[in-house]
Amino acid sequence: MGKYEREQHRAPRRRRRNKWHYYIPTVILLVVALVCVVTIGWTIASVLKSQDPSPNDESGPNNITINTQPTTEATEPSTEPGPSLDELLAEADFIAAGYDYDTAISMLKASPEFSTDNELGARVEQYTNAKSKLIKYTAMDTVTHIFFHSLIVDTDRAFDGDVDQDGYNMYMTTVDEFKAILQQMYDRGFVLISPYHLAHEVTDDNGTRFTYGDIRLPAGKTPFLMSQDDLNYYSYMIGTGSGKNETPIFVDENNDGFAHKIVIGEDGYPTCEYMDANGNITTGDYDLVPVLESFIQEHPDFSYHGARAILGMTGYEGVFGYRTKPSYEAAMGSEAYAAEVQAAKEVAQCLKDHGWILASHSYGHPAYGNISADRVAADSEKWTNTVASIIGKTDVILYPHGSDIHNWRKYTTDNEKFVTLYNDGYRYFFNVDGNQYWNQLGENYFRGGRRNLDGIRMYHNPDKLTDLFDVDTVFDKARPLPVPSTGGGM
């Protein structure tokens, strides 16, 4: 049982200095310049009695940048001394370990000591040499995509024989299993990429279309994608009651042994809050986000250019464990509700700043393949209004139940559901598929299959996982057997 209960106070992670720190003087200059330009602009505008300020900056989902590094707002001039040479080199080494040699080289060259310090020059040479050995990955249509639900921390409470036990056993993965999977995939040369590395939109003389990306890795490395569905910490998992009414449910000691919310850790990285069987709440590596983050801190070569996983959220109980569903406001009171929304917004920003990609998993978790086009449109709109309003827009959707809106053929504009989702901003569509890989580069979208690495798959189809890890050494002995083979899905 729960060895994690005794691991609650894990050692703090090495806190990385923010590499943008080195550019602060430049950024300050730019800000000053911007202020001047804006001031002059306003003056001219008022002289000309210009009608109106510029329209709202609604950058479309296509313009989403790949947040591969933490970002810093350059609003306050820093009086801190610059980083030491050792800190600069450690940070550059971390970035270079993720195969982003160009950024690492730029960081060193931007140092005022670059022209005088031999170590910096030697490091640049080392990075340049390593970069020259990278090989363009060409088997893009074979990139695999694995996914998980919330991870089980305490198997005693998840597998306690209550009505939820079978669902957890079938559709969930334990923290121990997840850690073993990461280690074995790392040992086999897998490297986590983002969907934006895999495929993206380009515009040139031939118009706008989707194309595969340019991924460069050392020989023997294999890129893969990862996602997590339902990062909501639903009531049935974390407390007493179903939560399917208009009263929000918060964590209590009857929780089933899962983390119950994402919070921002003391080191600025996203982490999880967890209540143990005695009702004590601690923060630490209790779910996919912090476990993967810690693993990458230890093994930066597991993440390509700072990639993290895709996180899919529904809206019907709020996001990340915050009870942000609008109809909860009446029961909670405006102040408490506003606090939940504010906290969820901050967590969303923190996740994005650290490279995580936030995605739609629909509002109400209906099977998009089985419902009418009108219902898909209504559900998608509700997600936009109640979830995107908190976590921001996205162009990635993880279909609930893995239920795709079309067969294996390409989406076309005859497909009403596709047109709706496209107009709602989606360009990356992911279903669930048992095959090793299933990728489809459409004219104006990317679509892919995802593999569930859960109890049902590991117990019933271990042969389908041999490319990734050895099921015998991963499978958690605490699972009740046999793992049921049919259920309602999740």
- The DSSP result for 51-109, as a single string, is S-PPPP----GGG-----S----TTS---SPPPPHHHHHHHHHHHHHTT-HHHHHHHHH
Cβ at position 453, least distance to Zn ion in Å: 15
Cβ at position 361, least distance to Zn ion in Å: 5
Cβ at position 377, least distance to Zn ion in Å: 20
Shorter beta-carbon distance to Zn ion: residue 180 or 359? 359
Number of residues that bind Zn ion (CB under 5 A): 3
Question: What are the residues facing 319 on neighbouring strands?
Answer: 322
Shorter beta-carbon distance to Zn ion: residue 124 or 289? 289
Stretch that binds Zn ion, among 23-31, 213-221, 223-231, 249-257 (CB under 5 A): 223-231
Torsion sign across C-alpha atoms 400, 378, 347, 62: positive
**Nearest partner of 443 among 412, 472, 419, 421, judged by Cα:** 412
Distance, in Å, from the CA atom of 47 to the CA atom of 84, rounded to the nearest integer, reads 49
Shorter beta-carbon distance to Zn ion: residue 236 or 304? 236
Cβ at position 187, least distance to Zn ion in Å: 30
Distance, in Å, from the CA atom of 259 to the CA atom of 287, rounded to the nearest integer, reads 6
Shorter beta-carbon distance to Zn ion: residue 91 or 166? 166
Stretch that binds Zn ion, among 178-186, 187-195, 226-234, 383-391 (CB under 5 A): 226-234
Cβ at position 136, least distance to Zn ion in Å: 35
Chain-centroid distance, C-alpha 481? 32
Stretch that binds Zn ion, among 74-82, 117-125, 227-235, 412-420 (CB under 5 A): 227-235
Shorter beta-carbon distance to Zn ion: residue 181 or 432? 432
Cβ at position 489, least distance to Zn ion in Å: 8
Distances (CA, A) of 97 to 143, 174, 458: 21, 29, 32
Shorter beta-carbon distance to Zn ion: residue 191 or 357? 357
Stretch that binds Zn ion, among 185-193, 222-230, 243-251, 452-460 (CB under 5 A): 222-230
Give one word for 366, left, alpha or beta, with left for phi > 0 and alpha for psi -120 to 50.
Answer: beta
The tokens describing 245, both together, are 């009414």
Cβ at position 471, least distance to Zn ion in Å: 23
What contacts 377, CB < 8 A, 6 or more positions away?
417, 420
Stretch that binds Zn ion, among 4-12, 203-211, 302-310, 393-401 (CB under 5 A): 393-401
How many C-beta atoms lie closer than 10 Å to residue 27's C-beta? 18
Shorter beta-carbon distance to Zn ion: residue 107 or 396? 396
Stretch that binds Zn ion, among 1-9, 224-232, 287-295, 316-324 (CB under 5 A): 224-232
The crossing angle, in degrees rounded to 10, of helices 118-132 and 101-110 is 160
Kindly state whether residue 229 participates in binding Zn ion, applying the rule CB under 5 A. Answer: yes
Chain residues 37-56 in contact with Zn ion, contact rule CB under 5 A: none
Cβ at position 398, least distance to Zn ion in Å: 8
Tokens 């550059």: give the residue.
92
SS3 (DSSP) at 337: helix
Shorter beta-carbon distance to Zn ion: residue 88 or 146? 146
Chain-centroid distance, C-alpha 195? 11
Backbone phi, psi, residue 82, to 5°:
-65, 170
Tokens 């299933």: give the residue.
438
Distance, in Å, from the CA atom of 153 to the CA atom of 148, rounded to the nearest integer, reads 14
Cβ at position 106, least distance to Zn ion in Å: 40
Site string for Zn ion, 394-433 (x = CB under 5 A): ------x---------------------------------
Chain residues 118-147 in contact with Zn ion, contact rule CB under 5 A: none
Kindly state whether residue 177 participates in binding Zn ion, applying the rule CB under 5 A. Answer: no
Chain-centroid distance, C-alpha 412? 28
Shorter beta-carbon distance to Zn ion: residue 96 or 226? 226
Kindly state whether residue 230 participates in binding Zn ion, applying the rule CB under 5 A. Answer: yes
Cβ at position 142, least distance to Zn ion in Å: 26
Shorter beta-carbon distance to Zn ion: residue 150 or 255? 150
Stretch that binds Zn ion, among 105-113, 174-182, 317-325, 392-400 (CB under 5 A): 392-400
Between vectors from CA 423 to CA 418 and to CA 429, what angle results, nearest 5°?
Answer: 45
Integer distance in angstroms from the first to the last C-alpha of the chain?
25
Pairing of strands 151-152, 173-174: parallel
Cβ at position 158, least distance to Zn ion in Å: 17
Site string for Zn ion, 350-389 (x = CB under 5 A): ----------------------------------------
The tokens describing 196, both together, are 């934006």
Shorter beta-carbon distance to Zn ion: residue 182 or 359? 359
Cis omega before residue 70 (within 30°)? no
Cβ at position 291, least distance to Zn ion in Å: 20
Chain-centroid distance, C-alpha 73? 21
Distance, in Å, from the CA atom of 404 to the CA atom of 122, rounded to the nearest integer, reads 51
Kindly state whether residue 340 participates in binding Zn ion, applying the rule CB under 5 A. Answer: no
Residues lying near Zn ion in the complex (CB under 5 A) are found at: 229-230, 400
